[in-house]
Amino acid sequence: MNEVNKRFFNFINTFFQGIYANPKDGRVKNTYNNEEMNLFVEDLKSFVGAHSFDESKVLSFFTFDQQLKNILYRPTDQNFEKNYEFVFSGCSQTNGYYITEPSVKSADYKDIWGFQIADAYGKEALNLGMGGWGAEAILKGLMHHFEKNGNPKILLVLYPDLGRIEGVDNYKVSMKTPLNHHEMIQHWFLRVSDDEKVNKVSTLPHAPSDVIPFTQALYRNLQSILILDQYCRKNNIYFKYTSWDNETNAFLKMLKGTFHQYSNYSDPVNPVFDKATFKNLDCHKEIEKDKLENIWNIGSDNQHIGIHQHIHIAEQFKKEIDNDNPWN
């Protein structure tokens, strides 16, 4: 057993059993009995052993630190140990893998929407977008950076669909093909249609779509957006967000018209992920001729948004910034 495991097991035994043995509140004693507490401790031990906990996995479970290698971000040489005036985040669309190197040779990471904005205002920016992330994971990644390096002046987020949810990979609920095999915290993708075609009989390990309703993911994602929004309001961070997903934009637009808490949502002029719409748009021709043709309307994988969509997302946010002038 390595030193990290020893420290962790000792933490479980002394801390949790100490709470039971010396409860500060009598209700604790009434709530837990010896059998339940022992089961809890043993379950945590089993959990630790099953995942061969190393220090990185301890951190990813118990702290904001997602323990992702810098090489997974775009660009790979960003400085994650400094405070930035401008930070932006999102999922794989913001990560920009399919419009930048290494997936596309000779492509420029500056085509990612956030760096287009940074270039327009002459600012240095940090891209925290990561593939597979939903609103929960985006929130966690941002909190980790803010905790280490301090708050930015401006934060922009491009959210994905609202059916993504984080979960601990375990013997009860697990994806057959985990997105990130090396991670204990998995990213599960739920859709409204999953609730209509759910299997009535399921066996261990259950597929997330069989046992978790879409509304559970929707709730947790909306709460993550609201928590981030409130954090920014309390810390004087200029925060605006939108989505590349058309259904998500329609839903957030409705919420903005109903609840003041969603006032920082920015409604796009054009459907961002409508390939047919962007293919027929007669704009930005002067930029198109200088870009790689195969990633102009769609990413190199034929699924993610292309440079043209990134331009429109950047322009949308720039209109908000120009109107509010948060740089001053």
pLDDT tens for each residue of 219-256: 999 999 999 999 999 999 999 999 999 999 999 999 99
The answer to whether 139 and 90 are in contact (CB under 8 A) is: no
Taking the C-alpha atoms of residue 69 and residue 52, their distance in angstroms, rounded to an integer, is 19
Which of 136-150, 161-175, 226-240, 242-256 has the lowest average pLDDT? 161-175
Return the pLDDT at 160.
96
Structural domain range at position 260: 70-164+215-324
Return the pLDDT at 172.
82
For the chain, the domain total comes to 2
CA 67 vs. chain centroid, Å, equals: 14
pLDDT tens-digit profile of 296-321? Answer: 989 999 999 999 999 999 999 999 99
Considering the entire predicted model, what is its pTM? 0.87
Mean pLDDT score, 138-158: 98
Task: Provide the 3-class DSSP secondary structure of residue 253.
Answer: helix
Q: Which residue has the higher pLDDT, 198 or 304?
A: 304
Taking the C-alpha atoms of residue 144 and residue 319, their distance in angstroms, rounded to an integer, is 29
Task: Scan for tokens 């993550």, then name that residue.
Answer: 224
Q: Are residues 22 and 87 in the same domain?
A: no
DSSP letter (8 states) at residue 25: S
Tell me whether residue 176 is in a domain: no
Highest mean pLDDT among 36-40, 105-109, 127-131: 127-131
Q: Are residues 139 and 283 in the same domain?
A: yes
Half-sphere exposure of 276 (CA within 13 A, CB side): 0
Tell me whether residue 142 is in a domain: yes
Tell me whether residue 177 is in a domain: no
Tell me whether residue 193 is in a domain: no
Q: Are residues 150 and 252 in the same domain?
A: yes
Q: Are residues 300 and 220 in the same domain?
A: yes
Question: What contacts 7, CB < 8 A, 6 or more positions away?
Answer: none
The confidence band for 169, taking pLDDT boundaries of 50, 70 and 90, is confident
Q: Are residues 34 and 134 in the same domain?
A: no
For position 83, which CATH number holds? 3.40.50.1110
Tell me whether residue 194 is in a domain: no
